[in-house]
Structure 1
Amino acid sequence: MKKLMLIVSLFLSVKIVTAQNATQTLERDFLIYSKLITEKKIENALDYLNPKLFEIFPKEGMKKLMEAVYNMPNIQYKISIPQILEIGDFRKINNIYYSKFKVLSLIEMRFEGVEKDENTISAMIASFEAKFGKGNVQYDKSTEFFKINATKEIVASSTDNQKNWKFITVDNAKMKMLIEKIIPKEILD
């Protein structure tokens, strides 16, 4: 009986250590990816996206789109490093490990050349709240920045036994339809 308990205890210890290591490497890679995004190092950040995404949307096109968002002349756009809220279970499907997790991102945006009257600001807040949820949008009159708390789902994948992770943000229904072509449905549900 002691031998059986020892074997079970050892098995559980190995399982816990493996899960902790996977969590740590996922957090490490997501932090690197997020830092690259906040520093607008788009080329390097793309190395942390799931490469299957580029089968649907070419890498160069993705780069141009991301650069266009950051370089819009009439919008000042700031993001901070997201806070990981929760990490889901690690699941292996077809020799690829997956984990879905949630993050909270602070996004700040200021629009140039837009009327800053009460009606326009209220309409913009309502528009942002429709996307990000009621109570997640504030307007700072002194800086003229909209501050948005965006909760997002991210799917992480690893093809090398959880040593390195790649990411896809699932932030709208259209994106989810595309992602369903490259991420197993049981991970997205």
Structure 2
Amino acid sequence: MRSLIILVFIFLITGTSVSQTDKANIEKEAQTYYDYMTAMNLDKVLDYMHPKMFEMATKAQMKAAMEQMFNSPQMKIEFITNDVTSVSDTMDEAGVTYAVVYYESKMRMIFTSEKDKPEEERTAYLELMKSTMSSQFGADNVLIDNETTSLIIDNTSTMFAIKDPQFEGWKFLGNEKNMAAFVNSIVPETIRTTLLNK
């Protein structure tokens, strides 16, 4: 009986240390992913994305769309900071390991097409865009910077970290409302409800 208790204790200790190691690895990889995002190293960002994303569009198409989104003639987006704040425990299902990554980001949206317009027009445009962005991020999280004709947006959100044996390393998948159907097709409901409600 005593040896059985020792075995169970060792198993529990080992399980805890593996979980902590997983969490540390996920946090490190997620921060690396966000550092690439901040630096706009899109090739590296794409390497960390879940490969099923590329069933909707190729890597080259995805990169072109991101370049257009981040640096169009009308608007430029810069990330000021992207920081991982915490990582959930991991859960396994059907040989795949999942976790939730919590993060905070701060970005600047520069409206390059407006910067040479009269101040009154620029201010009106920025107010309109603030109203639009506030509906998504919350009014307290969107600030106007008249000097640079930009909005500064704070965002706190989550993404899934996924380790699937058929892919190399941890892959990440944003947990955004507009991607819900796609996320739900990859992350099982039991995983989503358990990890997001902890």
TM-score by length of 2: 0.83
CA separation of 1:83 and 1:35: change in aligned 2, threshold 3 A: closer
Count of aligned positions: 186
Q: How does 1:100-115 map to 2 (within 5 A)?
A: 100-114=100-114, 115=121
Within the alignment, does 1:143 sit opposite 2:148 as a pair? yes
Q: Is there any run of 5+ residues in structure 1 with no aligned partner, and where? A: none
| Secondary structure, aligned partner of 1:80 | strand
Per-residue Cα deviation, 1:37-65 (whole angstroms, up to 9, x for no partner): 22222122211111122123322221111
Q: Which amino acid in the other structure matches residue 142 of structure 1?
A: E
CA contact (8 A) 1:100 1:187 kept: no
Within the alignment, does 1:179 sit opposite 2:186 as a pair? no
Within the alignment, does 1:116 sit opposite 2:98 as a pair? no
In structure 2, what is the equivalent of residue 164 of structure 1? 169
CA contact (8 A) 1:86 1:103 kept: yes
Q: Is there any run of 5+ residues in structure 2 with no aligned partner, and where? A: 115-120, 194-198
Instruction: State the 1:31 CA deviation.
Output: 1.7
Instruction: State the 1:2 CA deviation.
Output: 4.9
Instruction: State the 1:132 CA deviation.
Output: 0.8
Per-residue Cα deviation, 1:90-145 (whole angstroms, up to 9, x for no partner): 1111111011222111111111233322x333221111110112311111233333
Q: Which amino acid in the other structure matches residue 177 of structure 1?
A: A
Q: Which amino acid in the other structure matches residue 134 of structure 1?
A: A
Q: CA RMSD in A?
A: 2.2
Q: How does 1:14-163 map to 2 (within 5 A)?
A: 14-114=14-114, 115-117=121-123, 119-160=124-165
CA contact (8 A) 1:96 1:159 kept: yes
Higher RCO by CA contacts (8 Å cutoff, separation 6 or greater): 1
From the two aligned structures, give the one with the greater helix fraction.
Answer: 2
TM-score by length of 1: 0.87
CA contact (8 A) 2:75 2:112 kept: yes
Instruction: State the 1:11 CA deviation.
Output: 2.1
